Chains A and B, each alone.
Chain A
Amino acid sequence: MEAYLVAIAIIGAIYVLLTLGLTLQYGLTGLVNFGHVGFFAIGAYASAIVSMQGVPLVASFAFAALLAALAAWPIGLVALRLRDDYFAVVTLGFGETVRLAITSEKWLTNGVQGIPGIPRTFAGLGVGLPGALATLAAITLVCVAAALALRRITRSPFGRVIEAIRDNEEALKALGKDPARFKIQVLALGAALAGIAGAFYAHYITYLSPDQFIPLVTFYVWMAMIMGGVGRVSGAVVGALLLMLFLEGTRFLRDIAPDAISGVAMASLRLGAVGLALILFTLFRPQGLVGDYTRR
């Protein structure tokens, strides 16, 4: 039971990191990123591949963040020329492109067979609970650092400018400030967070394959952000944890009545439950649990 709770907590923390990245990009800056999973995948594969070449994990994590941020660069350049809805389509395409590239570039990623045997974080502590707890402590620390950094940003001149971009980009230009520079930085920073989340994921699950990086992951992150409260750091944390409650709570349902529902039906039911929650939230609490940027 402890092992199970720790496992949920680690996956939950990975979603917290992903949601913090999206909060920066969409919640604060208004960039509709539907390809978040692409940056997550780049981080996961980058760290897995270089660590298996003997690179220490600290360096492989940094490499994951860097590579994800670099991947955001061309997307950022595109973002400067596109309206919100078109940018959403481009990022959705980006996420899928990353997945297809992973599937087809077998020499690097081993294609659909995937990469097994990725080194664990804190492998020195063994496979059991101590190693998992140490991993949980590490990712919690990263989450706290990321949340604090984001909070610092929201209360700074930089935060003021990106929220101004979200509210009215033209007016910001009229004041002599280039939205472009800020958008690229925001995309890269959010992507770096997703990259680090991916690295944690790779070294915790220890096995990667392309089917772990479907668009659904992106939309889980969107759901977490919307349920928690768009554009709020605390909302990202609360929303990601709530998402885990839904995803894992439905698993418990199956433990209670194992014969009533098959595994496949369960997976569909889980999606349905999350979808229903999302609908109820948008109907009855559109500002999310902790409130969003419109009600400060």
Chain B
Amino acid sequence: MSLVVRGITKAWGGFRALDGVSFEMESTGLLGIIGPNGAGKSTLFSVVSGFIPADVGSVALDGTSLDRLGPAARARAGMIRTFQVPREFHHLTVRENLMAAAPGQSGEGLLGLFLRPGRVRAEEDAIRAEAEATIDFLRLAGVADTPAGRLSGGQKKLVELGRALMAKPRLILLDEPFAGVNPVLIEEIMARIRDLNGRGIGFLVIEHDLDALSRLVPRVVVMDRGRVLATGTPQAVLADAAVREAYLGGAPA
């Protein structure tokens, strides 16, 4: 069971944002993606999650091709992404943001809403309880009833993570999940990610914080200028001369 990305190329005019990117991961595993700004990491996420169509290349999850599916269908196939710049539902409260993410709600259909109010209420109670637990874990209890648009950047990141968890995916694509989050909480979130991973949820993580990432994932893909530069353990790729050239400008680590 795995996520297989093969030969993804995406160009805008003469600019090749992605140039034949391939990698593979266990869909229950942990994989990091690092690389300097403009390396194509977030674009890769958008292609894999179906928001941007690839010019060439294919994406398959657990043996099923996702190439013909749009973003919503790919998410329903079990792969939920977050965004580098948080895209919270800004007028909905934090609690509503999380509750909106729960899959398969019969109250989202007008017929169910008006004809089976009892069932909708029971579902809502269950979803609210689940959202409450997620809010507690992410330490968002103080702002649970605050419109998400009023939160700090770090808190919005947590809302995105919370929504992704509420969607019950098999694989979560996290785009810089620790940006703007306080260091103590980063440790806790990493612990939670490990815990969730232990229960079979896979994570593909873009992160600038190399130090944090190397403590979280056993393996990283290094990207530069739209290409995969190296793949391996964090220690091994950091020792790689080409990676140091691209990432650190050749300076000794």
A interface list, Cβ under 8 A from B: 149, 152-153, 156-158, 160-161, 163-164, 166-168, 170-178, 182, 185, 189, 293-294, 296
The reply to whether B107 and A158 contact each other, CB–CB distance below 8 Å, is: yes
The reply to whether B113 and A176 contact each other, CB–CB distance below 8 Å, is: no
Number of interface residues of B (CB under 8 A): 38
Q: Is B120 interfacial (CB-CB < 8 Å)?
A: yes
Q: Is B105 interfacial (CB-CB < 8 Å)?
A: yes
The reply to whether A176 and B108 contact each other, CB–CB distance below 8 Å, is: no
The reply to whether B91 and A156 contact each other, CB–CB distance below 8 Å, is: no
Instruction: Answer whether A168 and B167 are a contact pair too, CB < 8 Å, given A160-B100, A173-B70.
Output: no
Question: Which residues of the partner chain A approach B110 to less than 8 Å between Cβ atoms?
Answer: 153, 158, 185, 189
Interface centre among A166, A172, A293, A296 (most CB of B within 10 A): A172
25 sampled A-B residue pairs with Cβ under 8 A: A157-B99, A157-B113, A157-B120, A157-B124, A158-B108, A158-B110, A158-B113, A161-B108, A167-B89, A167-B91, A167-B92, A170-B51, A172-B100, A173-B75, A174-B49, A174-B71, A174-B75, A174-B81, A174-B83, A175-B164, A176-B80, A176-B103, A177-B72, A177-B108, A294-B91
Question: Which residues of the partner chain B approach A173 to less than 8 Å between Cβ atoms?
Answer: 51, 70-72, 75
Question: Which residues of the partner chain B approach A189 to less than 8 Å between Cβ atoms?
Answer: 110
**Chain B 141-165 interface 0/1 with A at a Cβ cutoff of 8 Å (1 = within):** 0000001000000000000000110
- The chain B residue with its CB closest to the CB of A293 is B91
B interface list, Cβ under 8 A from A: 49, 51, 70-73, 75-76, 80-83, 87-92, 96, 99-101, 103, 105-110, 113-114, 120, 123-124, 147, 163-164, 167
Name the distance in Å between B10's Cβ and chain A's nearest Cβ: 18
| Contact among A149, A152, A160, A172 with B99 in the assembled complex (CB-CB below 8 Å) | A160
- The chain B residue with its CB closest to the CB of A167 is B89
| Contact among A153, A168, A293 with B113 in the assembled complex (CB-CB below 8 Å) | A153
Name the distance in Å between B88's Cβ and chain A's nearest Cβ: 7
- The chain A residue with its CB closest to the CB of B117 is A152
| Contact among A156, A175, A185, A293 with B75 in the assembled complex (CB-CB below 8 Å) | A175
**How far apart sit A144 and B73, CA to CA, in the bound complex (Å)?**
38
The reply to whether A175 and B109 contact each other, CB–CB distance below 8 Å, is: no
The reply to whether B107 and A171 contact each other, CB–CB distance below 8 Å, is: no
- The chain A residue with its CB closest to the CB of B97 is A164
Question: Which residues of the partner chain A approach B81 to less than 8 Å between Cβ atoms?
Answer: 174
Interface centre among A153, A157, A164, A178 (most CB of B within 10 A): A157
**How far apart sit A152 and B124, CA to CA, in the bound complex (Å)?**
14
Question: Which residues of the partner chain A approach B71 to less than 8 Å between Cβ atoms?
Answer: 170, 173-174
